[in-house]
Structure 1
Amino acid sequence: MKSLKKTAIATIINAALLSAAGTSVSAFAAEEDTAKKSNQLEVIQVTARKRVENAQEVPVAVSALQGDNLDAYSSAGMDIRFMSAKIPSLSIESSFGRSFPRFYVRGLGNTDFDLNASQPVSLVVDEVVQENAILKGFPVFDVERVEVLRGPQGTLFGRNTPAGLVKFDTAKPSQEFEGYGAVSYGSRGAVDTEGAVGGALTDRLSARVSLLWQDKDDYIDNQAPGFEAKDEQGGYTEKAARIQFLYEGDDFTALLNYHTRDLDGSPIAFRANVIEAGSNDLVDNYEHDVVYQDAASRSTQQVESEGASLKLEWDISDEYTLTSISGWESAEIYSRADIDGGYGGYTIDDVAVDMGPGVIPFSSESADGIPDHDQLTQELRLASNFSGDFNYQVGLFYFDEELTIENFSYDTANNGALNGYVQQQQDTTAWAIFGSVDYVFSDKLKVTAGLRYSDDEKDFSADRTLSPLSVFGVGPLFIEKEVSDSHVSWDLSANYKVNEDVNWYSRVANTFRAPSLQGRILFGDDVTTADSETVTSFETGIKSDVLDGQGRVNATVFYYTMDDQQLTAVGGGANFNRLVNADKTTGYGFELDTEWVLSDEFNATFNLSYNKTEIKDNDLAVAVCAQCTVNDPINSAGLAVLDGNSLPHAPEWISNFTLRYNKELAEGNFFALGDISYRSEINMFLYESVEFEGKALTEVGLRAGYEWAEGDYEYQVSAFVRNLFDEQQVIGAVDFNNNTGIVNEERYIGAEFKVNFF
């Protein structure tokens, strides 16, 4: 192993600091002439602007995960939440587990747990938007690249992107025969198997088939008195597949993609009074593999989804490309859980049933489902390929979604008999016309301007046929509402080439999130609506390659204002959500994204982001928790005043560090990869309280192994651990009943064998 000289480390630090400040780094190349290394960082190609471009020359704050880091993060049973805190300003959480991820970028997200919740961070997979939150949980496998675009992306992508965009590009078919297979075994009997194979069917037609199968045993014991059971929760079986066909003509290509998913498992574990009253500590007797629930035996979660897309692309002469992308997605889910997370709190035959752990004011056993869902999208765009200074894109977009939601309430005291039912129906129709223009003013300066007109309409109904409060005279209820709006989104950006290694960019952008409705009326009597939110964002940054291509430092500073931000008042004494608009929200911060070749054997990345968010609305107030200690001022109506609060699930600091070591050994290569992810404290709800401030969370991962080649095969065997120090904190909560919490995953240890073939 080559040792690192102090002068080289000092040079790296100086390069990072000066390039982040916009200083030319040409001097550093001269300083390192005597210490140049043969290996350099690869050029990262992204499609952040629907063209293939060098990420260093795109005037957007974009980070990409690919190669070894992506493989390590996403392998061995991980769901899409593996990206949380791996990329600057990105966090992901869920109260459903593997099926309903909620994304936050630069502090902007949505805590809403209902199944028609819209999010300000859009997910696009193979150029098709995944609007419903259940679609966003599709397993990550055989993926070529993940891009995270921070800041408003409303001109080219359109559907609800005021915070940003997460974009997945799966591995595509090619004429070359290739594939891989991988199997891993880990803690709690977890098995993960995935693989893909692809190649030519004819000289113009190729195909690729990708498969995933994951299985984990139930391992959580139920120790509630009278309901004891071994291994009752925590397990799942996940199956998914993708098949693609690619036709490549002389001036025409067609890509057909079909994908499907089947998940059968347990919902996330709710733990009653797991938070110590008056603090945000876990209770002393907390055990990750134990719950105390009286409805655990009925907890279940099933998800099925499928979809297809067809991308057609024509090269019209040498100057134009016409692209059509047609998509269809469908999802079904049924998820039932013991929401109060405890036992007792009711009477049977006028005899009180002992309750625990702690006080359980009332039982809450409920389920949500999507029995029917269809999403259709169509995009048509024309892009120029001129050799001169001027190029453009124009396009049309259409979106149609029909969504049926079911809400169920069950009487735990009566063996889980149904006592409440609501059916929601939401039909959404949206269309847009968009355009983007690039103009090269000189060898150094390039300017881009974009414009999009969007029209969005939702028709909604909620029909309560059975009320869990019928004993109090609450009966059936039917409500219909509709919301609609249109908006002109725009952006203007400039990229200035300081020198061959440094690009400076600035960007200002405006977009919106369409109006929302919320009709979870099992326990409420109103369908709430939220007006459109609009955001205007300003950012500027430096993208630099330093040390003769052996270092990369990208730094961004940003500021945004959001008018009428859509917020969800979750819980607060009742088991339903209420939509509200905040008059104004502001956010500012910075992002640092770096990558280094430290020697022939060491590579490293270091990312850091700071996000400061603040709600500015003197009149906005929400209901508060049942048993927690509230820090906010309380008005005369008993509501917490939110003015000055940060947004929920918006950590101020996110950081990630990775170090990879490679060493030739015998006929192969030994490797080791370590990563440290950190996110600072979070508020779990709109109001601030002692118990529901999530502590800072640091997780460490390690992977080490050996890889070698024989003929047309490459083999790899590795051992790994995630959350090395088994740090466990409350990362989510239920506030309407008791201090019920959701805790992050425990330490996970496993081993993997993988083979690539050509």
Structure 2
Amino acid sequence: MSHLPVPSRRALAWRPLALAIALVLSAAAFAQDAPEPATASQDADPANQAATLDAVEVTAQRRVENVQDVPVSISTVNGVQLEALASGGADIRFLSGRVPSLNIESSYGRAFPRFYIRGLGNTDFDLNASQPVSLVYDEVVQESPLLKGFPAFDLERIEVLRGPQGTLFGRNTPAGVVKFESVKPSQEFGGYAKVGYGTDNMWNVEGAVGGPLTDRWSARASVLYQRRDDWVDNTYPGPNDGFEGFDESAARVQFLYEGDAFEGLFNLHRRNMNGTARLFRANIIEPGSNDLADGFDRDKVSNDGVNFSDLETWGGSARLRWDLGRVSLYSITGYETVESLNRGDIDGGYGAVFLPDSGPGLIPFASESADGMPDHRQVSQEFRLESEEWGRFDWQAGLFWYDEDIAIDNFNYDSLAPGNPQAGRAVQQQRNKTWAVFASGDFDVTDAFKLRGGVRYTQDEKDFSASVLESAPFGAPVAGPYTVYTDVDDVSWDFSGVYALNDDVNLYARVAKAFRAPSIQGRLLFAVAGAPNGGVSTADSEEVISYEAGIKADLWDRRARIGFNVFRYDVSDQQIIAVGGGANIATLLNADKTIGQGFELDAQAYLTDNLLVTLGSSYNDTEIDDPGLAVPGCGGGCTVTDPETAPGSGLYVIDGNQLPQAPEWVHNLTARWGMPVGDDGEFFVYTDWAYRSEVNFFLYESIEFRGKSSLEGGLRIGYSWGYGDYEVALFGRNITDTTRIVGGIDFNNLTGFINEPRTIGVEFTAKF
């Protein structure tokens, strides 16, 4: 019997990409002479003019530009979207899946978000983990993962830049950058107040007020308060009665000085959060599948460990600008500090199999731990010169300096002893110093064709030390210090071109290279005795080169807008981490090569004058290419589908696997319909939906630890009056009450954690 040849996964993956390339070319042809939509005739009265899209200004290239002119794949999140997405006390993870190729998850809950763009991210849960997605808040990089969760409130915009951004941004950008820009002070008095109340006694209160202090000085103060009661009951008589509640506050105050040739913007900000840490649930996965286990109840758990999350951050920045005539000099100084402690029941249940009583399901042994950062300091400084209208050529160049000093505590506890006493402690210290010099320029070859390019030289060094001060029952003996020192340098660069087919359509192509400095991991409490360097592991630098081409177009007399691109990237020596597993430790590794390719679509259009629809979509095909790389499989309960290096070795070859937490498909859709009421009012309905396809939780592939596809939606129905100054709205988040396992713990049993539940509430906003 003959058999047709089965195409390889890589061959199959090229089919969506080839289709995407064809779509770019056809979209370019269509956009040149796209017909206008049929509309009723309009008279000279502005009230009867067709609704059009406003130009979107971004600072993706450190200058204010129209997003259509920037040769980078960019998505923005505006104020209307933020109002809906942040309803219900949501933290920064509300952005996950809301723009193409973006995923955000956390095994710490609200305290420690992990960002992924185009599948590139880092599942490392250690407090000194570095990520390939940089978060920049008000022009200051937030390097520590604990800083990346600062709440999103009183924002002018959010920008998501996909692909390497290593030339103009200072820290770890091989996957991309997420930029937050706060509303700045001005000479015009104004502000807003918002209060929301919802499910589980949820409160979301925020506001801002700003205006002139003198004819040169202005100020703006912004505050946020969020809280929610525990919504999960603990059926075991443990230290905690309930879980998943939180109490969080944040504040920001800014002062702006505007002189004749000097401008200074000064920022102070603070965040306090306390609540429960990520809630792990033992044996919630049905063996042999990725379904929820029979009898699962999302409102109940049985845990015997202590659970809490405390976090405090504060910082400040000074952004200065001198007008020197043909050039401007910028200085950006930033300071950030963190103090945190997170403690949780890692086994997700109570007791142990060798005791008379344990559960739910199999609990091989008890595990309760905490990670804290008692000391942290980050200082950054940038000086940048920027040309001012030099004709066909404009440029910018500068220096960047970064210094971070951190201390980390790792604790183990005995859940089986009265009072859950401490039973192990290790400490880590790390000093990271970086400096860089960079330059970038753009040249108008013709009126329609512009070239851009940039280069950055970076030198990075880390000095790391770790010690075991008190041995854990299953860990290494008291020992140390174990030290690691790294010192590397690298050159990042990018080159792009933009060609204007006409006033409304731009084609662009870009190639870029970026790198991430070495990472060091030292979770020593669970390292086996005699492990090399006590169990401290190091991953060498990784380098990414990316190729991208796309189209950006305004259509139908600015009633519609589209951005579409295809991309491919190659990562050399990608930093990855083997988490947990049968070895019960976390180990940093380098994959020889990783390949990613796909496409991204951003579109928005007024389908009628009262109906605005946005659509985002992305396809990301990622693959680890390293035939010799093997990692430990799960510690118990799961079915690993990768080949084992040798029978009984417990090591599995991950060559050909997709990256963890890297969905192939991400789609998002929003629609806002408004109906005028009276002279100054509007009734509106806004809905948003986000879909992601299946994801692997770990480097190896298994049946159980593969998250199902997910679709979550939101709804907002409201009435505004006073020309938008006042609004009352009913809102719902996760309105279908979808329950999905979004992450797992694999060293003990089939333990996992789930997404946020449905939230329903009401919100009132007043602007002044």
Class of the TM-score when normalised by the shorter of the 2 chains:
over 0.9
Does the Cα contact within 8 Å between 2:24 and 2:565 map onto a contact in 1? Answer: no
CA distance in 2, matches of 1:673, 1:744: 22
List per-residue Cα deviations over 1:616-663 (Å, max 9, x = no partner): 001100001022000100112320101000000000000001110011
Q: Does 1:499 align with 2:502?
A: yes
Quick check: 1:649 aligned with 2:661?
A: yes
The one-letter code matched in structure 1 to 2:563 is N
Partner of 1:412, secondary structure, is: coil
Identify the residue that residue 234 of structure 2 maps to in structure 1: 222
Tell me the residue number matched to 1:715: 726
Match of 1:450 among 425, 434, 454: 454
Q: How does 1:568-717 map to 2 (within 5 A)?
A: 568-626=577-635, 627-636=637-646, 637-666=649-678, 667-709=680-722, 714-717=725-728
Residue 283 of structure 1 corresponds to: 293
Using structure 2 for the length normalisation, give the TM-score: 0.93
Look up the match of 2:255.
245
Task: Please say if 1:747 is aligned against 2:767.
Answer: no
Helix, strand or coil at the partner of 2:494: strand
Distance 1:401 1:473 in 2: 28
Question: Cα offset for 1:615?
Answer: 0.3
Cα deviation for residue 249 of structure 1 reads 0.4
Q: Say whether the 8 Å CA contact 1:24–1:498 is kept in structure 2.
A: no
Taking the aligned partners of 1:157 and 1:228, their CA distance within structure 2 comes to 45
CA distance in 2, matches of 1:473, 1:561: 38
Deviation, structure 1 residue 469: 2.8
Conserved? CA contact 2:665–2:692, under 8 Å: yes
Report matched runs for 1:150-169 at 5 Å: 150-169=162-181
Equivalent position of 2:9 in the other structure: none
Matched position secondary structure for 1:70: helix
| Counterpart in the other structure of 1:312 | 320
Q: CA deviation at 1:294?
A: 1.0
**Secondary structure of 1:22's partner?**
helix
Residue 24 of structure 1 deviates from its aligned partner by: 4.7
In terms of mean alpha carbon deviation, does 67-76 or 57-66 score higher? 67-76
- Deviation of 1:21 after TM superposition, in Å, equals 3.2
Q: Structure 1 residues 203 and 29 mapped into 2: Cα distance closer, same or farther (>3 Å)?
A: farther
Contact 2:599/2:618 (<8 A) preserved: yes
Supply the AA of the counterpart residue of 1:242: R
**How does the TM-score come out when normalised to structure 1?**
0.94
Bigger mean CA deviation after superposition, 31-40 or 624-633: 31-40
Q: Distance in 2 between matches of 1:57 and 1:304?
A: 40
Q: What pairs up with 1:407-418 in 2 under 5 angstroms?
A: 407-415=410-418, 416-418=420-422
2:510 and 2:547 in contact (8 A); partners too? yes
Q: Which amino acid aligns with 2:342?
A: S
8 Å contact from structure 1 (residues 20, 553) kept in 2: no
CA distance in 1 between partners of 2:453 and 2:249 (Å):
43
- Once the two structures are superposed, the pairs formed by residues 4-43 of structure 1 within 5 Å of their partners are 21-29=27-35, 32=38, 38-43=50-55
In structure 2, what is the Cα distance between the partners aligned to 1:17 and 1:120? 29
Alignment partner of 1:732 is 2:740? no
**1:558 offset after TM fit, Å?**
0.2
| Alignment partner, residue 8 of structure 1 | none
Deviations 1:388-423 (A, max 9, x none): 101110000000000000000001111311111001
**For 1:398, which of 401, 411, 420 is the aligned residue?**
401
Task: Name the SS of the counterpart of 2:549 in structure 1.
Answer: strand
In 1, Cα distance between equivalents of 2:37 and 2:685: 30
1:342 aligns with 2:349: yes
The superposition leaves residues 405-444 of structure 1 with CA deviations (integer Å, 9 ceiling, x where unpaired) of 0000001111311111001000000000000011000011
Shift of 1:573: 2.1
- 1:523 and 2:526 matched: yes
- Inter-partner Cα distance in structure 2 for 1:289 and 1:153: 42
Which SS does the other structure have where 1:413 is aligned?
A: coil
Following superposition, the deviation at residue 19 of structure 1 comes to: 7.3
Cα drift, residue 320 of structure 1: 0.8
- Change in Cα spacing, 1:20 to 1:207, as seen in structure 2 (3 Å) is farther
Partners of 2:75 and 2:161 within 8 A in 1: yes
Q: Is the 8 A contact 1:560 1:588 kept in 2?
A: yes
C-alpha distance 175-478 of structure 1, shift in aligned 2 (>3 A):
same
Note the C-alpha offset of 1:665.
1.5
The answer to whether the 8 Å contact 1:732/1:743 transfers is yes
Partner secondary structure for residue 358 of structure 2 = coil
Partner of 2:487: 484
Shift of the 473–53 alpha-carbon distance from structure 1 to 2, 3 Å rule, reads closer
2: CA distance, partners of 1:132 / 1:404: 12
Distance 1:35 1:399, change over 3 A: farther
For residue 266 of structure 2, what is the amino acid of its counterpart? L
SS in 2 for 1:28: coil
CA offsets 1:32-91 (integer angstroms, 9 cap, x no match): 587786210010000000000000000011111112112211233111001000000001
SS of 2:608's partner is coil
Please tell me whether the aligned partners of residues 221 and 228 of structure 1 are also in contact (alpha carbons under 8 angstroms): no
Structure 2: gaps spanning 5 or more residues: 1-21, 43-48, 528-533
CA contact (8 A) 1:32 1:547 kept: no
Equivalence map 1:467-478=2 (5 Å): 467-469=471-473, 474-478=477-481
Q: Percent identity?
A: 52
**Secondary structure of residue in 1 paired with 2:68:** helix
Contact 2:87-2:731 at 8 Å conserved across structures: no
**Separation of aligned partners in 1, 2:194 and 2:36:** 45
Of the structure 1 ranges 68-77 and 686-695, higher mean CA displacement relative to structure 2 is found in 68-77
2:243 is aligned with 1:233: yes
Measure how far apart 1:22 and its partner are.
1.9
Tell me how far 1:576 sits from its aligned partner. 2.7
Task: Tell whether 2:444 aligns with 1:431.
Answer: no
**Any idea what the Cα deviations from partners look like across 1:193-235, whole Å, max 9, x if unmatched?**
00000000001100000001111112211113x54975x2111
Give the 3-state SS of the residue equivalent to 1:598 in structure 2.
Answer: strand
Determine if contact 2:88/2:760 at 8 Å carries over to the other structure: no
The whole-number CA distance in structure 1 between the counterparts of 2:717 and 2:75 is: 25
**CA spacing shift, 1:412–1:382, aligned 2, 3 Å:** same
Task: For residues 478-518 of structure 1, give each alpha carbon's deviation from its aligned partner in whole angstroms, at most 9, with x where no partner exists.
Answer: 20111121000010000000111100000000010000100
Aligned length: 730
| Aligned partner of 2:566 among 541, 544, 557 | 557
Q: Which amino acid aligns with 2:31?
A: V
Task: For 1:355 and 1:57, locate their aligned partners in 2 and report how far apart those are by CA, in whole Å.
Answer: 61
Q: How does 1:345-364 map to 2 (within 5 A)?
A: 345=352, 352-364=355-367
Task: Give CA deviations for 1:364-400 in whole Å, capped at 9, x if unaligned.
Answer: 1000000000000000000001241011100000000
CA distance in 1, matches of 2:120, 2:207: 35
Whole-angstrom CA distance in 2 between matches of 1:92 and 1:519: 24
Q: Is contact 1:438-1:446 (8 Å) kept?
A: yes
CA distance in 2, matches of 1:103, 1:502: 31
Residue 496 of structure 1 aligns with an amino acid whose one-letter code is Y
Give the conservation status (yes or no) of the 8 Å contact 1:19–1:553.
no
Contact 1:223 1:229 in 2 (8 A): no
What one-letter code is carried by the residue in structure 2 that aligns with 1:160?
N
| Paired residue secondary structure (2:359) | coil
Deviation by residue 1:93-151 (Cα, 9 ceiling, x = unmatched): 00001110000000000000000000000000000000000000111111110000000
What secondary structure does 1:149 align onto?
strand
C-alpha distance in structure 1 between counterparts of 2:674 and 2:542, whole Å: 48
State the one-letter code of the partner of 1:28. A
